[in-house]
Structure 1
Amino acid sequence: MVDSGRALNTLRSAFVGPFRVAASVRHARVFHPKGLVARGTVEFNSSWWPGRTRIPLTVTARMSGGIGTPSTLPDVLGLALRIDLDEGTTPWDLLLASSGTSSLTRLLPLPATGWNTARYSSLMPLSSTGGPPTWVLAEPVGEHPPTTSINALADALAIAPLVFSLQLATFTNTPTPTGRVVLRDVCELADDDQPSFDPVLNCPPAIALQPEWLAAVRVGAYRGSRRGRGATNG
């Protein structure tokens, strides 16, 4: 019987090469090549989350288009969050993508027509302290740009913060609001200088992505994409 750890390492390694080549040819991230980085705060209102609750934590976010279509066309939109938990610990990278709102469609990356209509999902469920598989969801609150334009995000942030409601949902339960993200300041960074997020490596011990084999695939894909474009930023 094949050792499960060895099988996961083999699966992980299998995805490094193809994503490295794709990123090298594109000279950019394989997916979500163009984005905007902003800083703000996140506040959790449930013990499901790691770290402190009801205390604002620093967050760095990258909002991006999955393919980079013209702003008048739909795209799979991304909301990547790097959350500073307790001091001295590794930040938590939480990656969300536009998806559907049902139990089945929240597993799929789906295009949105604008930042104001996007409904974000972790796509893969997460388990907190060994609990049931749970999806992290995010929904825009208030005014967000009605197109997929990155420039429109910067213009919107120059006027007012961008706010998101964070929600948790199991496969059978309806989403429950359990947090809030507020983005306030744009970080003027070229795409090549923007941080690389890895939700598998930068993950608190209490949180596990499921299923394990798909997490291994994501490790290989992110590693290959970073190597292909020569990224050294974390």
Structure 2
Amino acid sequence: MSISELTTLPVRAGAALRDKRFFHPTGVLCGGTVTRTAPAKEGLPLVSGDVIGRVSKGVGTPGSLPDFAGLAWRMERDADGSEPWDVLTVSSSARVALRPVASWNAAQYSTLMPLGYPGGIFWLRATMTTPLDGGLSLDAVREQLTGGTIEFEVEQAFGVGPFLPLATLTFDRELCDDDPGCDQPFDPTVRSGTAVTLLPGWLTSLRHAAYRNSREGRGAE
């Protein structure tokens, strides 16, 4: 057993006790689209297309109570090929520091880890632009999707440079676990596109083991 597996064994135990995800146990599955707004071939290879997403609470606090806000989405392909690409983000400050928030709109969603791509190192972040009342409530997300959309502005930064617009992420409906494509957990350590990599490698290995132990702990794998 690797060091990463040994280090993350408590995650498996925690998921087993909760009988649900250890990370971001509660959330809303969403369907929608991503639309590239940056010029083609400028930065990361994100392309416009359909997405499956999830808006979630990191700890799983009840109701509208503050928590770590999560945003994930899966793209079917990128500009380099047909490999799927999962992006996981969480409310943060200074790109790498987790930060709990009291509302979805107050969150600045970051990948926490930089992304390697031919030509350099990039960061991704997102901000919800659709106003949602009711604190950090998943019910508010569901209610908005019954008759409207939820939009996020996605930005990229090259190295330590400024963040610039990359795409608009739009969710227009709620999905169920048994809908097509919704049976696989989001995992950027497994699905990161054709040529994108999470950095640094040692942290990616640790994160991969943690996600795997979480899935095994709740019997999902």
Normalised TM-score (structure 2): 0.88
Over residues 5-42 of structure 1, what are the superposed CA-to-partner deviations in whole Å (9 max), with x where a residue is unaligned?
xxxx8233224522211111111111110110010001
Distance 2:166 2:64 in 1: 32
Corresponding residue of 1:93: 86
Distance 1:34 1:20 in 2: 17
Distance 1:177 1:144 in 2: 22
TM superposition outliers: structure 1 runs of 4+ over 3 Å: none
Identical counterparts, % of pairs:
35
Corresponding residue of 1:67: 59
Corresponding residue of 1:165: 153
Conserved in 2, the CA contact under 8 Å of 1:16 and 1:223?
A: no
Deviation at 1:51, TM superposition (A): 5.3
What 5-or-longer segments of structure 1 have no aligned partner? Answer: 1-8
Deviation at 1:222, TM superposition (A): 0.5
1:226 aligns to what SS in structure 2? Answer: helix
What 5-or-longer segments of structure 2 have no aligned partner? Answer: none
In structure 2, the CA distance between the partners of 1:141 and 1:77, relative to structure 1 (3 Å rule), is same
Over residues 135-169 of structure 1, what are the superposed CA-to-partner deviations in whole Å (9 max), with x where a residue is unaligned?
10001113234411111100011121101111012
Corresponding residue of 1:23: 15
Distance 2:112 2:172 in 1: 26
Corresponding residue of 1:223: 212
Give the residue type in structure 1 aligned to 2:45. Answer: P
Distance 1:142 1:150 in 2: 14
Distance 1:86 1:171 in 2: 21
- Any residues of structure 2 matched to 1:98-117 within 5 Å, and which? 98-100=91-93, 105-117=94-106
Corresponding residue of 1:6: none
Distance 1:170 1:51 in 2: 14
- Any residues of structure 2 matched to 1:154-233 within 5 Å, and which? 154-189=142-177, 195-232=184-221
Distance 2:75 2:205 in 1: 22
Corresponding residue of 1:49: 44
**Count of residues in Structure 1 that have an aligned counterpart in Structure 2:** 214
Normalised TM-score (structure 1): 0.84
What's the Cα RMSD here?
Answer: 2.1
